[in-house]
Structure 1
Amino acid sequence: MQILSQDIKYLKGVGPGRAKVLKDSLGIETVGDLLYTFPYRYIDRSKIYTIREMVSVVPEEALQVESAIPYIQLKGQIVDFSDEGKGRKRRLKAVFTDGTGYVELVWFGGLNFVTENYKVGYTYLLLGKPNLYRQMYSFAHPELDKIEPGFSNPNLGLQPIYSIPGKMKKANFTSKILAKLIHNAFDLIPNGQLQETLPDYLIRRNQLKGLYYALRVAHFPTVSEELPQALHRLKFEELFYLQLDILHYRKGRKSKVLGFNFTRIGENFLSFYNDFLPFSLTGAQKRVIKEIRSDLNSGAQMNRLLQGDVGSGKTIVALMCCLIAIDNDFQACIMAPTEILAEQHYATIKSLVKDMPLHVELLTGSVKGKARKQILDDVSTGSVKILIGTHALIEPTVHFHNLGLAVIDEQHRFGVKQRAALWQKNNRAPHILVMTATPIPRTLAMTVYGDLDVSVLDELPPGRKPISTVHYCTNGLEKLIDGIRYQLRLGRQVYVVYPLVKESQKLDLQDAENGAQQFQTWFPDFKVGLVHGQMKSEAKDAAMQAFIHNETQMLISTTVIEVGVNVPNASVMVIMNAERFGLSQLHQLRGRVGRGAEQSYCVLVSRPQLSEDTRRRLQIMCDTNDGFEIAEEDMKLRGPGDLEGTAQSGMPFDLKIANVLRDNDLMEEARHVAEKVLEEDPQENLPQNAVVWQQLQLLKKNKANFSEIS
């Protein structure tokens, strides 16, 4: 593997300058890193069209949806160049013909390169996506290859296309240049001999292709029929090591981490269940409490993820688990990511146990002076049975008498060190229950939260009305305005959310401020509040509190409304520029309404021209309220790395080519193989598995093990 560990700067065509760009943009430092940077798609270049054929293959109406426009390959000559505009507005144009018609070529950047390399009268092979400008087909920044006279149609096969970030583009890197460097890397491997990263017996048993063949074909397939087996080998290997690491860690954890043994179901739990529970538990809640109860009574530390869609009753489950801890003479705490959420948890739980002799307290950064000192004293003596708060719970001044259970709400908001600090409040780690309203498909949850057991609340309480979701375009808002007016006159409240993209914060803020003025003009009899990311936290909290207490009837926001914020009177969620949100984000926003007894509505507002994928995304929102179904569709459309940023940051090591949802069947297969390896080699010393344990350690070394995070 020495070739793979070679510094990338010594590869032909790289050098120190390009090496820095590759490292900063794609994290490529070695030849191995380069070979494991895969194309995200391939273009079939076996067909060369005439311009006349292109017009029938890509008619004008097909150019309306950018994502549907195919790559077209032409062969012809540049017959004219023109230079237009000055300064930043300067651009180059060329006329290209093959004798059957004319197209326009245009460049907005890299103009010196264009003038030096492309000349009138020469013949070129052109590749690009056509567009229509002033009734003429045009290509922006096409790929051009000079062709000598006498050239005939070659079988160019499949061309790999690599993702090129902005930094690389600025350094004049293209997908084609990256492909050339990868070619150079393969030239370093003598006779195609590459040390295997899987043992021979696993390769034979699972009918896998060799590593060199798989890598070579993944980058440079001759025909599309070669790809499936090559990609199968590479994906299987990634998923095998992913599952092996998870199983390996879980095996070690079960034997290493002792937990408090909660053997009793006592007076507090039974009294609450029999006398004070305001409604019957759903079947899902009963099942989950039983799963948690089994963990708490096992003698090992519980690490469980509780997933539940908005309104599925996670708080009740958390409270009943806290009561089990209290019945066994321990304290419990609930940690939320923001003061508003902590206050809402406190108000809800305080209300639920108001007739029980339980000391419940709230500790946030806002609690100061004598009140804070009294709470800290009561926590340290054990008088406080349930402490609810924010990051304030992990400050050094907070000393629990005997913390037995920690409930962490919206886990991805807390860093590794913060969770570790909570554990260090005891000489033995408390049981951990992580709650999230972000729906994650079970397959992905088992991977991202690999060392956590997963419980799912997949049932809403009876009587809850499903939210009605509709899609309007910006050129037809009359119905929206009428609908909002009707709801406001009924005494309801309305959220209006604008997207916030870091690259254009000023524009987004302007959108929201203009929007707030516009909505105030449309609804002069009602008060409109505004929340945006550039406000100080005190002002933001004040605006949120005004909405919570119905002092403002409409809330315009550039930021995602806090997950968990509970305003039962809010019955309408309007999402502007909905096409700029992912499915999971849209579902989270929709979950801010539908918390009261009245019918609630979610309105998705977008521009009229949408790509096929975007239109499908918005239609899925209109068709279903099921968070798990939406999460799965989101991953199919966008991949796991975009799922609220959770998946990719949570992986034990980066997945370069596999997708944990789309390759679900292969992941199950890889998991079974990993289980068998662990079963047959529990001591990790069988000679045939030496390469397995060596490769696993190498992968873990290259990325910190995720199992430390929870």
Structure 2
Amino acid sequence: MLSLQDSVGNLAGVGPKRVEDLKTLGIFTVEDLLLYFPTRYDSYEIQNPNQAVDQQKLTLQGTVMSEPVIARFGYKRNRLSFRLMVDTEVVMVTFFNQPYLKDKVELSKDIAVYGKWDAVHKRLAGTKIVNITTNQNSVDAVYSTNKSMKQTTLRKFIKTAFTAYESVIASLLPPKLIQQYKLIERKDMIREMHFPSDDTQAAEARRTAAYEEFFLFQLRLQAIKMENQQKNGISILYRNDELKDFIHALPYELTKAQQRVINEICRDLRRPIQMNRLLQGDVGSGKTVVAAVAMYATITAGLQAAIMAPTEILAAQHAQNFAKMFEGLHVNIGLLTGSMTAKQHRELTAQIKNGSINLIVGTHALIQDSVEYANLGLIVTDEQHRFGVNQRQKLREKGEDPDVLAMTATPIPRTLAITAYGEMDVSVIDELPAGRKTIKTSWLKTNQVGVAWEKVRQELEQGAQTYVVTPLIEQSETLDVQNAQDLFEELQEYFAPQYQVGLLHGRMPNDEKDAIMEAFKANEIQVLVSTTVIEVGVDVKNASLMVVYDADRFGLAQLHQLRGRVGRGERQSYCILIADPKNQVGIQRMQTMVETTDGFVVAQRDLELRGSGDVLGLKQSGVPEFKVGDPVGELKMLQIAKSDAADLLLTPDWDTQTENLPLVEYLTIRKLQTHFD
């Protein structure tokens, strides 16, 4: 019997080699293949250039008015050019690195060309010569592929899969929702997404696919939330007097926002229901001390607390900071990471299991099956946006239903946070500690880089340290951006012999990265050239200047994170962005960074500038990644899907109704909890 969960190897023409090739795209099953939707569509409908906008992709038809000419420049690089008479206007057409097309361009013959329109210069950068008779008014789906899989091969496999499995594609959405929102059946949606009849049908299919994706996502979140609300958690009866003494002993006064959030968390700890709270706070707002208060409260109740960080550098830093913070108290700290030796891991996990260690700091190693806790009461995740729904749920399953506090320094608008993290309660620290100096941000063009280096020297002469961040590790033939290796060598020479320059990047072994970071913390290195490995959580109070090369290559949220690595001590701190943005959006992003240091303003502006469908932007904003739906541009649809999912789960016996059985089967396959007593 056919099933969408069949391996792609069951398809005609897909042998073992092609199975492996498809795996590189994340395609394992027939359903994976059918849901591998196009990133865009190329329409070959003939258009009038006078009605087109600049940089629009379109198809022009006309008469060839000049002999095609090939100009060669560089290794294997060339340009094919000819003039095309379109109605009464002459358009220059160019093709790059496709010299073989010359044979298809004949003087005085009619031809249709697909490409990108330059309205200012009346030029077309061609990508394809279209067969007028067979392609007119047709639409081609374009997929994200790699060297292992060509567009034509992937299209063929999708066609094969749809033809063979069309009869077993059942709609997952409840019929009343399909009718209510005028959606199309899943089978029709999949067909029109891959092989659209026309632009209108493609748009309808995309709308259905987006809603289905949002609905299934929200159904999972709401199911988790309902399950957790029905489970008994741990009532953490912390010692209030000890907690107050700890807070009073802190070397600074908590902000009102921190106090409010701590009260919210402490109320949750005492309740016999499992806490599941998201703590949002801008860079430097003091989330870590809030987490420390929550963990200490848990430990005073005789339970264990754990905190999970996304990198070993950040985990080690947390362990050091907590050791100072809890000095003299009954807090025994263990650091658990993936790079430990088998013996170290065995000894530490034994102490965790017998309860002699009551504060466990670590990376993803904390949720390994081999790690057992004696009496885990609270788990904190730092930089929550680095962890997905699966990891969040796996954390909650450790121990006897521990409370969970997730933290993120990547602010996103509250409505989006509540919707994206639908299974969590949300707390926000919207106030910075008193006396914290605003980081002064400036933007320089590449030809002004000497100004940046003079500022670096001034800071170094005052005993401060500097970060210099660049997007690439080594030289790239495709991107003209400063790379870390070259920049490191250049600055070594520039600042020698007075100052030491270090290099840090993600390809280094962990022990080497740790050594470099420790040397920077100890001020043995004064200038640290780095890739974005230092983006999250690294805390060096003596660092007062952040220089970001090719800043237009980073998202706003990422730039804000990078800027937050300075200004963590008493010194006035600065951020210098070096960039030559190529368009208006790039310019606006640089201006935003100069104008505001408020992370929530930056986040909102980032979402506005990136627009719909920018997956990179969504990832950087802490929002889950969707294949089709855009949670920013289609926030209303996402919120409606959330409401619909919650309504369905509250419907008595919804999971035994015949019309919902395909959905129940789908959820069961994915091992989701879908039934509640």
Shorter-chain TM band: 0.7 to 0.9
Contact 2:196 2:202 in 1 (8 A): no
Summarize the alignment of residues 375-394 of structure 1 with structure 2, pairs less than 5 Å apart: 382=355, 384-389=357-362
Range moving further from structure 2, 298-307 or 635-644: 635-644
Contact 1:496 1:573 in 2 (8 A): yes
Mapped pair 1:93 → 2:80: yes
Summarize the alignment of residues 255-654 of structure 1 with structure 2, pairs less than 5 Å apart: 255-256=230-231, 258-273=232-247, 275-354=248-327, 356-363=328-335, 382=355, 384-389=357-362, 401-411=374-384, 426=399, 428-442=400-414, 445-446=417-418, 449-500=421-472, 504=476, 511-524=483-496, 525-561=498-534, 563-606=536-579, 608=580, 610-636=582-608, 637=610, 639=613, 641-643=615-617, 645=619
Residue 67 of structure 2, aligned match among 51, 59, 80: 80
Contact 1:78 1:95 in 2 (8 A): yes
- CA deviation after TM superposition for structure 1 residue 521, in Å: 4.0
- CA deviation after TM superposition for structure 1 residue 369, in Å: 13
- CA deviation after TM superposition for structure 1 residue 32, in Å: 9.2
Which amino acid is 1:472 matched to? L
Any idea what the Cα deviations from partners look like across 1:353-396, whole Å, max 9, x if unmatched? 44x53233343579999999998887666555434455676789
Change beyond 3 A, Cα 1:102–1:706: farther
Q: 2:128: which partner in 1?
A: 143
Residue 677 of structure 1, aligned match among 640, 648, 658: 648
Q: 1:65: which partner in 2?
A: none
Distance 1:189 1:107 in 2: 40
Contact 1:19 1:29 in 2 (8 A): no
Contact 2:336 2:345 in 1 (8 A): no
Which amino acid is 2:500 matched to? K
Range moving further from structure 2, 580-589 or 360-369: 360-369
Contact 2:411 2:599 in 1 (8 A): yes
Contact 1:312 1:459 in 2 (8 A): yes
- CA deviation after TM superposition for structure 1 residue 555, in Å: 0.9
- CA deviation after TM superposition for structure 1 residue 561, in Å: 0.8
Mapped pair 1:173 → 2:146: no
Mapped pair 1:103 → 2:82: no
Distance 1:243 1:142 in 2: 40
Distance 1:7 1:116 in 2: 43
Distance 1:138 1:89 in 2: 23
Change beyond 3 A, Cα 1:430–1:505: farther
**Identity percentage of aligned residues:** 34
- CA deviation after TM superposition for structure 1 residue 129, in Å: 1.8
Distance 1:420 1:72 in 2: 49
Any idea what the Cα deviations from partners look like across 1:169-203, whole Å, max 9, x if unmatched? x73639xx95998799699989xx99654344333
User: SS in structure 2 opposite 1:535?
Assistant: coil
Contact 1:306 1:433 in 2 (8 A): yes
Change beyond 3 A, Cα 1:649–1:501: farther
Any idea what the Cα deviations from partners look like across 1:286-334, whole Å, max 9, x if unmatched? 3322332233223233333333222111111111112221222223233
Q: TM-score when scaled to structure 2?
A: 0.80
- CA deviation after TM superposition for structure 1 residue 573, in Å: 0.6
List alignment gaps of at least 5 residues for structure 2: none
- CA deviation after TM superposition for structure 1 residue 478, in Å: 3.3
Change beyond 3 A, Cα 1:92–1:363: closer
Contact 1:35 1:182 in 2 (8 A): no
Distance 2:314 2:165 in 1: 57
- CA deviation after TM superposition for structure 1 residue 631, in Å: 3.5
Which amino acid is 2:281 matched to? G
Which amino acid is 2:178 matched to? I
User: SS in structure 2 opposite 1:129?
Assistant: strand
- CA deviation after TM superposition for structure 1 residue 5, in Å: 9.0
- CA deviation after TM superposition for structure 1 residue 445, in Å: 4.4
Q: 1:243: which partner in 2?
A: 218
- CA deviation after TM superposition for structure 1 residue 44, in Å: 8.5
Q: 2:37: which partner in 1?
A: 37
List alignment gaps of at least 5 residues for structure 1: 63-67
Which amino acid is 1:684 matched to? D
Any idea what the Cα deviations from partners look like across 1:546-566, whole Å, max 9, x if unmatched? 211222221111342152111
Residue 127 of structure 1, aligned match among 114, 127, 136: 114
Contact 2:91 2:123 in 1 (8 A): no
Which amino acid is 1:260 matched to? I
Contact 1:363 1:372 in 2 (8 A): no
Range moving further from structure 2, 391-400 or 520-529: 391-400
Contact 1:640 1:660 in 2 (8 A): no
User: SS in structure 2 opposite 1:475?
Assistant: helix
Any idea what the Cα deviations from partners look like across 1:527-582, whole Å, max 9, x if unmatched? 22222334333332222122112222211113421521111121111111112222
- CA deviation after TM superposition for structure 1 residue 3, in Å: 11
Contact 2:380 2:405 in 1 (8 A): yes
Q: TM-score when scaled to structure 1?
A: 0.77
User: SS in structure 2 opposite 1:603?
Assistant: strand
- CA deviation after TM superposition for structure 1 residue 467, in Å: 1.9
Change beyond 3 A, Cα 1:357–1:223: closer
Any idea what the Cα deviations from partners look like across 1:413-435, whole Å, max 9, x if unmatched? 67999989977874x24333233
